[in-house]
Structure 1
Amino acid sequence: MRVLRRAAAMVALMLGAVGMQVVQGGAAQAALPTAAVVLGDSFVSGEGAGDYQPVVDASGTAQAFPGWSAANSNAYFCHRSANASLFKASLPGIQDRFNLACSGGQPADIANPSSARAKGRSVASQLDQLRAVAQTHDIDVVLIGLGSNNTQFTFGDVAELCANRFIADAWTGWWEFWAYLNGDVPQEPCTVSDLATDPEVVTATTETTAALRQVLDTLAQIDADGVHQVVLQTYTNPLPLDVATQYRDEDSRTDTRDKFRALGAERYAAGCPIHRASLAPGHMFSQNLGTLVKNAYTTLAAERPAADLRVLDVQKAFDGARLCENPGSPTGVLATPVRVQDGPSGTPITSLSGWDKIGIQRLANTCVTYFQTCQESWHPNAAGHTVLGQCLTGALTAAPRTIVTCARNANGTLTIS
């Protein structure tokens, strides 16, 4: 009997060596190729990194670039980049990689078609897309970036709010503001409560946790061998806590003065059209997003102590290389500058010098009507995604069920701890 058991074990080893799996009943099947997948929103889809790939829409049609004046609901504008961090990470043993994330993705999009909500895109639920991958692959790595968009607030709305207040303040004098605009265009710096209140963060955490729970439940049902690593990534702020000295005043005007067009144009060109006083609240917002993800992790890790689940905290991954943090911005930074177009032309405006407030309003309206003309703004660029890929590599080699921090050092190296 012992000899028979040894013989059976030897057969199993031989089948494994040639890519076969032994299954109950004695049947054998080919081992599925291994896969890494990414789910979530723009910070993991590759928004800002260029080289966007066609995206299969809800009808099963692959959508390539549809033109700048197309509806923003087009699946292509998920902006799934070949330069996204998942494709830049070193993942030994992984044969194929799948980007299922979508720019603007919300927790509801995990289990439901994105088109089921306002401003969603025409793509199937991310879980349905995940199930399709599991039909042909053994899913071993799952990267998830979720939480910056939800029913309470979205990253795009937050960024738009603060940038628009700065631009309005820079180009509109107080007398124009009251005489022609009736004082109804906010021009003051953003505060923490403008971006996300504590109750809003609590609700967003609940939504995100529920969506992540659905992902884990689905993986338990569909993963070929039941073994997979799940990484929950936080967010990093594209802007510094303060701008470099050269961006603080122009023509003896700071952003605390009435109308400062030269300074406004200078900061726009550098990629950071925002009040200095808005920077600290912006970082508090980013920290709240990080806390949101960590709290979701804490809940899920307690529920599933055997799960290989971890947090990748990247809030410090762009330290020293943020927009306007150093002279010469946006050269050498890890995030995309704010850029708009004058109509859906495909040509980004890189300088606002000489523009009047009527022209500025036209640019703002273009962003509202054709969001794809400005949606890359303030996201990790290709270099930034390379850094995030290195962070992911480090997170996957860490001990299970931990919070892994990835921080950029002054010399550009990363410390992962």
Structure 2
Amino acid sequence: MRVLRRAAAMVALLVGAVGVQVIQGGTAQAALPTAAVALGDSFVSGEGAGDYQPVVDTSGTAQGFPGWSAANSNAYFCHRSANASFFKASLPGIQDRFNLACSGGQPADIANASSARPKGRSVASQLDQLRAVAQTHDIDVVLIGLGSNNSQFTFGDVATVCANRFIADAWTGWWEFWAYLGGDVPQEPCTVSDLASDAEVAAATTETTAALRQILDTLAQVDADGVHQVVLQNYTNPLPLDVAPEYRDEDNRTDTRDKFRDLGAERYAAGCPIHRASLAPGHVFSQNLGNLVKNAYTTLAAERPAANLRVLDVQKAFDGARLCENPGSPGNALATPVRVQESPNGNVVNSLSGWDKIRVQKAANTCVTYFQTCQEAWHPNAAGHVVLGQCLTGALTAAPRTIVTCARNPNGSLTIS
């Protein structure tokens, strides 16, 4: 009997040494390496953080940078960054990380190829990509950022509306507006209903919840041991509730006056070409996105009492370091400024000083036709993704099934609670 016990102990020692799991029926199987996976849209893919990596398209080809004039549907423009928060977080026990998120990603892209919808990119469904990872890895951590883009509204469209209204107001006088443009180009500040109505937010919540449910169902099917933490991250506004005093007027003109080109150029240079009156509605929009994620969590947590789910609320993570919140913007901000190109050649325009409305319109049209020339605008920059990575680290050490808030303090430290 003593010999048998010694033999059993030796087997147990060898099993631990070589990473072998004994499963039901006595069959031995090598333990899979552990993995963390990111799913969703630009705020987790790493948009704005630079160092974008090649992305495999639906044909199985890894797409590197295809040139500024390439179709925006190219897989590369998913902008999966090596500097994304996902890679900056401390993830003890995780051996490999897979960024499957895509800038502009929508709930529809979870179960379907993104190219199946208008303006989608040539990448496989995120669930198919997740299944591929599960073939070789045991998925232990899943970061999801989903909801800012959907069939009702997209973050890019919302940002474009408010920035374009400001630029049109700054460079086009009322007489030019009516005489040459027919009066059909909006120039007034954005309102809450311009960005997303209550009905649109409700529909987007339903749509996002359904996509998250598909992710949880798939994880239950493919995860090697069925044990994983899922973090639902929401969004932070790149702009403050009001700009610093030095960005409020220029040449004795505020943005409530007709044609304020000097002020328009000043705010563009600082990264925040937007009416002051649009800032509060923008924060309501951000809060609605935050509630969208929290409401989806509440629904799913009630459905799945055993699931290890939590919300990472980062709406205050950039407090005190948003664009134009302080003098010296955008160099001291955690978000990327609005930047355009006059043509798709990679030459970024940092100043509109001295420009006339025709030249401004040309640059704006370049952004519309070649969206990749301006799609980084108003996203977390590399420093911002470091902060979000610290937030993610904190969220993963919190108790399961909680809402974790990550807020930036005046001294730059974070409070995670």
TM-score by length of 2: 0.98
Which position in structure 1 is the counterpart of 2:69? 69
Match of 1:279 in 2: 279
Q: What is the distance in 1 between the residues matched to 2:393 and 2:66?
A: 34
In structure 2, what is the Cα distance between the partners aligned to 1:356 and 1:64? 36
Residue by residue, what CA displacement relative to the aligned partner does 1:53-72 show, whole Å, maximum 9, x if unpaired? 00000010000000000000
Secondary structure in structure 2 of the residue aligned to 1:329: coil
Question: What residue is the counterpart of 1:129 in the other structure?
Answer: 129
- Provide the rounded CA distance (Å) in 1 between the counterparts of 2:287 and 2:377: 20
Tell me the residue number matched to 1:362: 362
Counterpart of 1:151?
151
Q: Distance in 2 between matches of 1:137 and 1:359?
A: 52
Distance 1:369 1:357, change over 3 A: same
Counterparts of 1:123 and 1:213 in 2: how far apart (Å)?
21
Shift in Å at residue 14 of structure 1?
4.0
Aligned-pair distance for 1:4? 7.0
Secondary structure of 1:352's aligned partner: coil
- 2:229 counterpart letter in structure 1: Q
Contact 1:12 1:22 (C-alpha < 8 Å) held by counterparts: no
Report what 1:302 is aligned to: 302
**Which residue of structure 2 lines up, in the alignment, with residue 245 of structure 1?**
245
- In 1, the alpha carbon distance for the partners of 2:77 and 2:120 equals 10
Task: Return the alpha-carbon distance in structure 2 between the equivalents of residues 13 and 313 of structure 1.
Answer: 43
Deviation at residue 263 of structure 1 after TM alignment? 0.1
Aligned partner of 1:373 in structure 2 is 373
Cα displacement string for residues 234-274 of structure 1 (whole angstroms, at most 9, x for unaligned residues): 00000000000000000000000000000000000000000
Q: Secondary structure at the match of 1:135?
A: helix
Q: 1:212 to 1:3 in 2, by over 3 A?
A: farther
Separation in 2 of the partners of 1:70 and 1:15? 52
Equivalent in the alignment of 1:116: 116
Deviation of the 1:23 alpha carbon: 1.5
Query: Structure 2: which amino acid aligns with 1:404?
Result: V
Q: String of CA shifts for 1:293-337, please: whole Å, max 9, x gaps.
A: 000000000001111100000000000000000001001110000
1:25 shift after superposition: 2.0
Cα deviation for residue 8 of structure 1 reads 5.3
Q: How far apart, in 2, do the equivalents of 1:13 and 1:22 lie?
A: 13
CA distance in 2, matches of 1:150, 1:379: 17
Matched, 1:205 2:198: no
Paired letter, 1:11: V
- Within 1, Cα distance between the matches of 2:357 and 2:151? 33
1:103 counterpart letter in structure 2: S
Please report how far the alpha carbon of residue 9 of structure 1 lies from its aligned counterpart in structure 2 after TM superposition: 7.5
Residues 1:2 and 1:214: Cα distance change in structure 2 (over 3 Å): farther
Give me the whole-angstrom Cα distance separating, in 2, the residues matched to 1:377 and 1:53. Answer: 19
Which letter maps to 1:242? D
One-letter amino acid of the counterpart of residue 352, structure 1? L
How many angstroms does 1:28 deviate by? 1.1
Question: In 1, distance between residues paired with 2:29 and 2:158?
Answer: 51
Partner residue, 1:196: 196
Offset at residue 11 of structure 1 (A) = 3.4
* Secondary structure class of the residue paired with 2:136: coil
Q: Which runs of 4+ in 1 moved over 3 A?
A: 1-14
Residue in structure 2 matched with residue 139 of structure 1 by the alignment: 139
Cα distance between partner residues in 2 of 1:6 and 1:48: 58
* Structure 1 unaligned regions, length at least 5: none
Question: What is the CA-CA distance between 1:18 and the residue it aligns to?
Answer: 2.4
1:269 is aligned to: 269
Cα shift readout 1:94-153 (whole Å, capped 9, x = no counterpart)? 000000000000000000000000000000000000000001100000000000000000
Aligned length: 417
Q: What do you get for the CA RMSD once the two structures are aligned?
A: 1.4
